[in-house]
Amino acid sequence: MQHDCETATVELLLEAGVRAELLLGALERRQGSRPSAEHQETAAAPAEDRVQYEGAEGGERLMDAEGKAVMMQWEEPLMEAHAHVVARSGSDVLNVGFGLGLVDEAIQRRHPRTHTIIEAHPGVHARMLRDGWHKRPGVRIVFGRWQEALAQLGRQFDGVFFDTYSEFYEDMRAFHEALPRLLRPGGVYSYFNGLAADNAFFHRVYCEVVKRELATLGFDTQFVALPSDAAVANEVWEGVRNRYWRLDTYMLPVCQLEDTVEQ
């Protein structure tokens, strides 16, 4: 009885949190006070900062100039799961943000027909060329920010994955608005779900906010719970200034565009 009551209270609080976020977002956008993708070139310009690949086999990470981690090896099983959702043999796949190339390696293992990668950072791009990514089967590298690069792409993908760095929720929201112009009907979208990942309650709020916003664009979103306890150990974060993950469960988004969605 007491447990039922607690669950009902949490659900009510969750609903209040979701409504508050949706409302605040709409109001701030109306007043122009939320940073939008078009108005934050400086904040969202990874190209201007140095990045560095650190570590060896099994423990590699990509760090920015301030000692913050852009991408870490512990995410490898999650990237494998994302690739499983967005890529299959003979399909056309888009990935935004190369990082350590973990998701792209996993996508390649599934033998897509085409595999487009958008990457903005010159240092990361140089690493991709050094490792011969431009010669991998079906791979097309689009060097630049997705905010500009999407104009070159059409409604040609069966699967899309999005995982950038140093951007705001409003950027991701702008990316979501472009999805119906990129995905074929019935196509699948997934993103690195690091929203409010230092607080289990607010993380749930953001899962629901994204789900409801994507629903207005014609998506059905489900979350698959995966263990993320590899990131709980303190040693993983040694020398990293931004502990960007604190939860023991990862909610992997599977967002499917309706079959009949109109352009």
| Residues 185-244 interacting with ligand SAM (rule: CB under 6 A) | none
- Shortest reach from residue 38's CB to ligand SAM, in Å: 12
* ∠ CA 251-94-74, rounded to 5°: 40
Contact between 63 and ligand SAM (CB under 6 A)? no
Q: How many residues bind ligand SAM (CB under 6 A)?
A: 25
- Shortest reach from residue 74's CB to ligand SAM, in Å: 11
- Shortest reach from residue 222's CB to ligand SAM, in Å: 21
Contact between 255 and ligand SAM (CB under 6 A)? no
- Pick the binder of ligand SAM from 18, 86, 97, 251 (CB under 6 A): 97
- Pick the binder of ligand SAM from 18, 21, 34, 44 (CB under 6 A): 44
Contact between 163 and ligand SAM (CB under 6 A)? yes
- Shortest reach from residue 24's CB to ligand SAM, in Å: 24
Q: What is the number of the residue whose Cβ is closest to ligand SAM?
A: 99
Residue closer to ligand SAM by CB (options 25, 123) is 123
Residue closer to ligand SAM by CB (options 18, 51) is 51
Sign of CA dihedral 249, 159, 21, 215: negative
Alpha carbon distances (Å) from 156 to 91, 182, 203, 207: 10, 6, 32, 27
- Pick the binder of ligand SAM from 164, 190, 221, 228 (CB under 6 A): 164
| Residues 4-43 interacting with ligand SAM (rule: CB under 6 A) | none
Residue closer to ligand SAM by CB (options 17, 169) is 169
3-state secondary structure the chain: CHHHHHHHHHHHHHHHHHHHHHHHHHHHHHHCCCCCHHHCCCCCCHHHCCEEEECCCCCCEEEECCCCEEEEHHHHHHHHHHHHHHCCCCCEEEEECCCCCHHHHHHHCCCCCEEEEEECCHHHHHHHHHCCHHHCCCEEEEECCHHHHHHHCCCCEEEEEECCCCCCHHHHHHHHHHHHHCEEEEEEEEECCCCCCCCHHHHHHHHHHHHHHHHCCCEEEEEEEEECHHHCCHHHHCCCCCCCCCCCEEEEEEEEECCCCCC
| Residues 98-137 interacting with ligand SAM (rule: CB under 6 A) | 98-103, 118-121, 124
- Shortest reach from residue 44's CB to ligand SAM, in Å: 6
List contacts with ligand SAM (CB under 6 A).
44, 46, 70-71, 79, 96-103, 118-121, 124, 145-147, 163-165, 167
